Amino acid sequence: MLLYDVLFEGKFVDLTVENGMITSIVPATHDHTPSDTCKDCSGLTVIPGLVDIHTHGCAGIDTMDAQFEEMCHFLAQNGTTSFLPTTMTMDYDSILRVTQAKRDVPGAQILGFHMEGPYIAKQYKGAQNEKYIKNPDLDEFKSLPDMKIVTLAPELEGSLDFIRNCGAVVALGHTAADYNTCIAAMEAGANCLTHTFNAMPPLHHRNPGPIGAAVEKNSYVQAITDGLHLHPAVVKLLYQTFGPDRMVIISDSMRATGLGDGTYEFGGQEITVKDSIARTQDGAIAGSTSTLWTCVKQAVKFGIPFADAVRMATRTPAEMIHADKKGRIEVGADADLLLISPKLDIVEVMIAGKFIPMENEEHHHFLETKAKIQHIASIFHSTGTFLSFEVIAQGNINTTYRVDYRQEDDTVKSYILQRVNTYVFKNPVQIMENIRLVTNHLRNKVRRLGKPALHYYSTSYNQNYYVEEDSAFWRMCSYIDSVALDSSDSLDVLRGAGEAFGQFQTQLSDFNAALLYTTIPDFHNTAKRLQTFFEAIEADEYGRVAEVKDEIAFISQHAELASQLSAMQENGEVPLRVTHNDTKTNNVLFSRKDQKPLVIIDLDTVMPGLAMHDFGDAVRFAASTAREDEPDVSKVALDLDKYCAFAEGFIGKTADALTEREIETMALGAITITIELAVRFLTDYLTGDKYFKILYPEHNLVRARCQLALAKDMLAKREKMESIVREIVAKV
Ligand code: GN1
Ligand code: MG
C-alpha cells in the first residue's frame, strides 16, 4: 500500500506499508494516480497512531467488564491504535479475569495491562474502592499475566522489594508518600508518576513530595490534559519541566466516554457524569470522559507545540513500556497511522497496515469537501499539489474557503474559493460582470499606489465563474496575505479603514455608473425595507411577532426618520455615487506588517448608492463598543473616539467631492443604516431566517436587538456625531 503526497513533519512524502510495517518513506514524486493500493493523501498529515497507557474504558464498557470488542472498536475510531486496558482497585479474581479475556479483536491493539491499585494509599484513593486496598503482594502480581505497568503507593509496606522484583514499569500514584520515600522508590526502579498532580500531595516548596522526586529523577510523568484534571498552566509547567520525552499524555477515560452525561458504574461505585465531568458520590473526580486525541488537541490549545503533543501520546508512552515498534513513523515500525485534517480531525486510521472503516462524520465530510474543492479549483487553473483548505468564517452570506497548493519550488500559493449564495444574489453572473469592470477600473490605480489588486481567475471558457450542474455558483480569486479585523481598538487602524473606503469611492468617481447592473434592487432603500418589514408583521408567518412588540414599536416610531435619506435620494437632493454598500471594516484587508490597509474586498454590492450609507455602515460595525450580534445589549454603545477616527479617514479622502447636503446627513447615514439593518435582521427572523446565515435559532433576533441598542445610543449622540463631521470637514 502506498500513501502518496502525505504531509509528514511538514514535508510531502510517499510512504509505503507492507505486511503491517512501514517499509519506505521518500520525498513525494507527485506522479501517482489513485488505486486500491495507491492512496491520494494530499491535504492530510500523517502521525503515529495514539498509544494510551492509561484508559479504563469508553463506549459504555469498562476494563473490569473483561470484554474488549467495543472498547477496541471505539478507541480505533478515535485514533487510539494501541493501549493498556487499566484495571481498578478490586479483588484478585476480577483482575485476573480481565487478563484472561479475549484480546485479539478488531480495532485498537491491546499491548498488555496497567494495574492501578490495589496497592495504593487510602488517603488518596480518588475514585478507587477503599474496600480492596492492600499492601503490595509480589506473588499475586506475578501470577497476573502481561502486566506492563503497576501504579502503587511506595509508602506501603513491602513496596521497595516489590518494585525491585515485579518486572513491570512501576508508576507512583494514589500515594501520600513524601519526597524521600519517592526518591527511594525511584532508586529501586520506579520511573513514572501516575496522573501527576491528581491523587498525590501537591508540590509544596518545603515538601516537594512525589512531583519533586520526579523532577529530581527525571522520571516519566503521566498527565490528563483534558482541561478538567489540570489547569492549562500546570499542563505547560509539566511540559516545560519534563519535555516531550518524559511527559506522557493519558486519557484516564472511563466508560462514559463517548456517551454523554448520566450515571455510570465505575469500579463497583456509582459515578455521575455532569457537563462531561465524572465524579464519585463524595465528589472526587473519577477519570475523564475525553479520548486521548481530545487530550492531545487540548494540550495544543494550551500552547504545547503540535509535534510534541503528538509525541507525548505516541512515541514517549510506547518507549516507556518498551513497545519499540509503536508510536513512531520510521522504516521498520508498525504501520499504525492516523491521517488528520488541518483542523485536526481524524480522517483515516490505519492499524497494522490496514485502514479501518471510519464511522465518524469528520471523515466523510472532509473527503467530500476536499474532492469538491480540488475539482472546482482545478477548473480555475490552480497550480501545484493540494496542501490544505480552510473554511473562512467570515461574512453572513457566501461560503468562503482558503485553498493552499504547494508549488514546485516549495513555496505555498493560496487562493480564495467562494460559493456565492444564490438565494441572496439572484443573478450572480451580473455580479461577476460588475466585479470584472470594477477590478479592471481599479487595477492600475491601486498598483500605482503600490497596493495589491484583486484578481479573479478565469476558467477555460474565459468566464470568471463556474456553475455546477446543481447550479452551485463558484468563483476564485487571488489570496492576499493580510489580516481582516472584526474589531479593533486601534484608532489608527480605524482611520486607515476610513481612508480605504473613502479612497475606494474616489477611485470609482470616474467610473461610468450606468455600466453597473443592480445586483440587489433597493438594497439600501430604507423606506422599502420598512415596507417589507411591516408586511412581514402583517403576515406573521412564523408566529414570532408577539415576542418582538417592543422592537416593532421602536422601529415604527423612527420609521419617518429612517426614511429621510431614501426620500432625498429619490428627489435628487443628494447625489448617487458608485459605492461599496457593504462597508463592514472586515472587508478591508490590512497588511500584517504595519497594519496599513491593502485592499477592499467583497465587491458583490458595488452599485450606485449614497456616500452616507458607506460611511454609516462602517461606523455601525467598527465604532460600536460590542460585536454586531452581542446578546447583552447593555454592552452596546457608539464609541465616539472610534467614530471620530473612522470619520477622519473617510472624510479626509472624500471631502473635496462631498456636497453640503451630504456632509450634513453623514451622521444620519449611520443612524439610518443601523436601523435599516435591525429591520433586515428582524424581517429575516419573522420570515424564517432564510437570508442571513445563523449560528443558533434566535441569532437574527439577537442581532436586531443589538443594532437597535446601537441606534438608540446614536440617536442620543446625534448632535455630537454631526459636529464631529463638521469639525473634520473644516480642517480638511
Ligand atoms: C451581509 O456577507 P456580509 O457579511 O459581508 C449583508 C450586509 C449586512 C451584513 C451584516 C449582500 O454582509 O448588507 O450589513 O451582512 N450583505 C448582503 O453583517 O446582504
Ligand atoms: Mg457581503
Render pLDDT for 3-42 as a digit per residue (tens, 0 to 9).
999 999 989 999 999 999 999 999 998 888 889 899 999 9
Tell me if 624 CB under 6 Å of ligand 1.
no
For the Cβ of 582 lying below 6 angstroms from any atom of ligand 1, the answer is yes
* Per-residue pLDDT reduced to its tens digit, 583-629: 999 999 999 888 899 999 999 999 999 999 999 999 999 999 999 99
Beta strand pairing call for 220-224 and 247-250? parallel
The confidence band for 190, taking pLDDT boundaries of 50, 70 and 90, is very high
Dist. CA 640–CA 624, nearest whole Å: 9
Mean pLDDT of the chain: 95
Q: Which CATH number fits domain 46-328: 3.40.190.10, 3.40.50.2300, 3.30.830.10, 3.20.20.140?
A: 3.20.20.140
Q: Where in the chain is the domain with CATH 3.20.20.140?
A: 46-328
* pLDDT tens, position by position, 81-110: 999 999 999 999 999 999 999 999 999 999
Pocket test for ligand 1, best of 582, 615, 620 (most atoms within 8 A of CB): 582
Q: Taking 90 as the threshold, does the pLDDT of residue 127 lie above it?
A: no
Q: What is the pLDDT of residue 188?
A: 98
| Weakest-pLDDT range from 164-173, 224-233, 357-366 | 357-366
Separation of 724 CA from ligand 2 center, angstroms? Answer: 28
Measured distance CA(451)–CA(447) in Å, rounded: 5
397 within ligand 1 shell (Cβ under 6 A)? yes
pLDDT tens for 680-721 read 999 999 999 999 999 999 999 999 999 999 999 999 999 999
State pLDDT tens for residues 550-571. Answer: 999 999 999 999 999 999 999 9
- Residues designated catalytic: 252
Half-sphere exposure of 385 (CA within 13 A, CB side): 22
Q: Is 556 helix (H, G, I), strand (E, B) or coil?
A: helix
In angstroms, what is the span from residue 696 Cα to ligand 2's centroid?
20
- 222 pLDDT band, cuts 50/70/90, is very high
Residue 346 has pLDDT above 90, yes or no: yes
- Predicted pLDDT of residue 305: 97
Burial class (CB in 10 A: 0-12, 13-18, 19+), 568: middle
Say if ligand 1 is within 6 A of residue 602 CB: yes
Calculate what percentage of the chain has a pLDDT beyond 70: 100
Return the residue matching grid coordinates 501516575.
194
Strand 113-116 to strand 80-87: parallel, antiparallel, or no bridges (unpaired)? parallel
What is the model's pLDDT at position 582? 96
> What letter does residue 247 receive in the DSSP assignment?
E
Ligand 1: distance of its center to the CA of 548 in Å?
A: 22
Contact criterion met (CB below 8 Å) for 250 and 320: no
Strands (E), 63-129: 80-87, 109-110, 113-116
Stretch(es) of the chain classified as CATH 3.30.200.20: 362-478
Give tens-digit pLDDT for 198-220. 999 999 999 999 999 999 999 99
48-63 pLDDT tens trace: 999 999 999 999 999 9
- CB of residue 396 inside a 6 A radius of ligand 1: yes
Distance in angstroms (rounded) separating the CA atoms of residues 488 and 439? 27
Ligand 1 close to Cβ of residue 677 (< 6 A): yes
* 691 three-class SS: coil
The answer to whether 560 touches 706, Cβ cutoff 8 Å, is no
The CA distances from residue 94 to 88, 244, 465, in Å, are 9, 35, 66
Ligand 1 atom 8: the closest Cα is on which residue? 582
Q: Tell me the torsion sign for CA atoms 351, 354, 357, 358.
A: positive
- Choose the residue to mutate in 392, 397, 620, 677 for probing ligand 1, maximizing ligand atoms within 8 Å of C-beta: 397
On whether the CB atoms of residues 340 and 367 are closer than 8 A, the answer is no
Nearest CA to ligand 1 atom 7: 582
462 Cα to the center of ligand 1, angstroms: 29
Ligand 2 centroid from CA 613, angstroms = 14
Closest C-alpha to ligand 1, atom 1: 396
| Strand 2-8 versus strand 38-40 pairing type | parallel
For a mutational test of ligand 1's pocket, the pick from 394, 396, 676, i.e. the residue with the most ligand atoms closer than 8 A to its C-beta, is 396
Q: 362-478 has which fold?
A: Phosphorylase Kinase; domain 1 (3.30.200)
Q: Could you tell me the distance, in angstroms and rounded to a whole number, from the CA of residue 602 to the centre of ligand 2?
A: 6
Between 268-272, 355-359, 644-648, the lowest mean confidence (pLDDT) is in: 268-272
Q: pLDDT > 90: what percent of the chain?
A: 85
Spatial contact of 506 and 653, defined as CB atoms under 8 Å apart: yes
Nearest CA owner, ligand 1 atom 13? 582
Q: Is the sign of the CA dihedral 379, 382, 388, 393 positive or negative? A: negative
CATH class of 483-731: alpha beta
Residue nearest to atom 3 of ligand 1 (CA): 395
C-alpha distances in angstroms, 123 versus 181, 204, 284, 510? 16, 17, 12, 82
Q: Per-residue pLDDT tens for 271-321? A: 898 888 888 888 888 889 999 999 999 999 999 999 999 999 999 999 999
Ligand nearest the Cα atom of residue 691 = 1
From 431, 518, 584, 624, the mutation candidate for ligand 1 (largest count of ligand atoms within 8 A of CB) is 584
- How much is the pLDDT for 281? 85
* Other beta carbons within 10 Å of 462: 6
Residue 267 has pLDDT above 80, yes or no: no
Give pLDDT, residue 385. Answer: 86
Question: What is residue 234's three-state secondary structure?
Answer: helix
Q: Positive or negative, the Cα torsion across 29, 34, 36, 39?
A: positive
Q: Does the pLDDT at position 270 exceed 90?
A: no
Q: How much distance in Å is there from the Cα of 421 to the middle of ligand 1?
A: 12
Nearest ligand 1 atom, CA 673: 14
Return the C-alpha cell found at 422: 444564490
Reduced to 3 states (helix: H, G, I; strand: E, B; else coil), residue 157 is coil
- How confident is the model over 153-166, as pLDDT tens digits? 999 999 999 999 99
